[in-house]
Amino acid sequence: MIGSYSIEVNTRLDVRDELLVCRMETGSHSAEWQLRIKDLVLIAEYTTSEGPYCDDYFLVFWVKEDGKLLKVECSFYAEGMEDALVAIRQWFGTAIELGLCASTEWKSRIVWPEQLQGRPYFEFSKVEPAGLLPKLRSLVIGGQLEYRPTIEVQDYLSRLT
């Protein structure tokens, strides 16, 4: 939701050959990303407190491609999500289970690789408002959270470069 307007985004996640492809469309605009499944180095999931009227559950995919780490995200609610997860499970021959379906607040966890599975993906900290108006707004509607990958995730990713 932005103001009183709702933005509808149609998202589809597919596996084509050995590629994971995400296509997002809204009105006359569209965007697409694709990655090679074999290049995946980390999969995480996170939820926000934004639901139930807008996307509040996302998957994060990190890949190492041509020596560079790249990150893309996709809504959990994307069409084809379950089929894509089945294909990824089969590719790596391992259990890849999502665990935040019932969460209604900010939460995160690593889904894959196995050695990090279940660990937090994000660390959260409250942003202290500066000035009277932001402090009042924080009291009325709640504070803002700042989030970033945990030190453990950052260390893991830095070892891959």
Query: Using CA atoms, how far apart are residues 157 and 153, in angstroms rounded to an integer?
Result: 6
Residue that wins the pLDDT comparison between 36 and 139? 36
What mean pLDDT, rounded, does the chain reach? Answer: 87
Residue 38 reports pLDDT greater than 80: yes
Residue 41 reports pLDDT greater than 90: yes
pLDDT digits (tens, 9 = 90+) for 44-53: 999 987 766 6
Residue that wins the pLDDT comparison between 48 and 36? 36
- pLDDT above 70 coverage of the chain, percent: 88
Residue 56 reports pLDDT greater than 50: yes
Residue 2 reports pLDDT greater than 50: no
Please give the single-letter amino acid code of residue 157. L
Query: Using CA atoms, how far apart are residues 80 and 12, in angstroms rounded to an integer?
Result: 6
* Predicted pLDDT of residue 142: 65
Return the CA Rg of the chain.
17
Domain ranges, ordered by start, for the chain: 10-118
Q: How far is CA 20 from CA 4, 8, 33, 116, 136, in A?
A: 34, 23, 8, 22, 45
Beta-sheet pairing, 19-26 with 29-36: antiparallel
Q: Answer whether 46's CB lies under 8 Å from 111's CB.
A: no
Please give the single-letter amino acid code of residue 146. E
Q: What is the mean pLDDT of residues 56-68?
A: 94
119: its two tokens: 């660990």
150: its two tokens: 């945990």
pLDDT digits (tens, 9 = 90+) for 63-106: 999 999 999 999 999 999 999 999 999 999 998 899 988 777 88
Query: Using CA atoms, how far apart are residues 116 and 121, in angstroms rounded to an integer?
Result: 9
* Predicted pLDDT of residue 40: 97
* Predicted pLDDT of residue 103: 76
